[in-house]
Structure 1
């Protein structure tokens, strides 16, 4: 016999598990967009001072902004791991 009391938390955990990667992806898009805007601004401001390449500078900005938000990224990654364990336990 199927215990309905166990199915409801499992469905809730699976729904939360689907939402967490979306939140992580949204955060990554925000970081990339901010880096793109910043790279464009810096490129326009300083045309005389050349960097090694625009892509390299964009990647440096992405890394810097990700480092600034590492707590939020780490929290989401931990939440995702806990949800995986919870679903595995059911």
Structure 2
């Protein structure tokens, strides 16, 4: 007998993982863009005085902004790890041989 309900939990888990990954990527892009804008603002304000190289300062800003939002980043990363485990478990269950008595 074919179990038509088996792929649905896996598909749902994969969809949830994709959504979480998309949210995490969006958050990282927001942090990078904000750091870029702040680096440009600082560069314009202090043309005569150089603190450090523009790339180094940009990375410092990214790190600071990521630290400020570490709670959200950590929550998404944890959720993503759990979803990966669920997907692995569902894929592993699908590979298990069916016992003859289960029919």
1: CA distance, partners of 2:69 / 2:4: 40
Instruction: Summarize the alignment of residues 10-89 of structure 1 with structure 2, pairs less than 5 Å apart.
Output: 10-89=10-89
* TM-score, length of structure 1 as denominator length: 0.91
Give the count of matched residue pairs.
Answer: 90
Which runs of at least 4 in structure 1 moved beyond 6 Å after TM superposition? none
Distance in 2, Cα, partners of 1:48 & 1:67: 29
Q: TM-score, normalised by structure 2?
A: 0.81
Q: CA deviation at 1:78?
A: 0.5
**RMSD value over aligned CA atoms?**
1.2
Unaligned regions of 5+ residues in structure 2, if any? 91-103
1:36 to partner: Cα distance: 0.4
Q: CA deviation at 1:52?
A: 2.0
Deviation at 1:49, TM superposition (A): 1.6
Bigger proportion of residues as helix: 1
Distance 2:4 2:86 in 1: 17
C-alpha displacement at 1:7, in angstroms?
2.4
Q: Provide Cα deviations, 1:57-82, integer angstroms capped at 9, x if missing partner.
A: 00000000000001111111101111
SS of 1:4's partner is coil
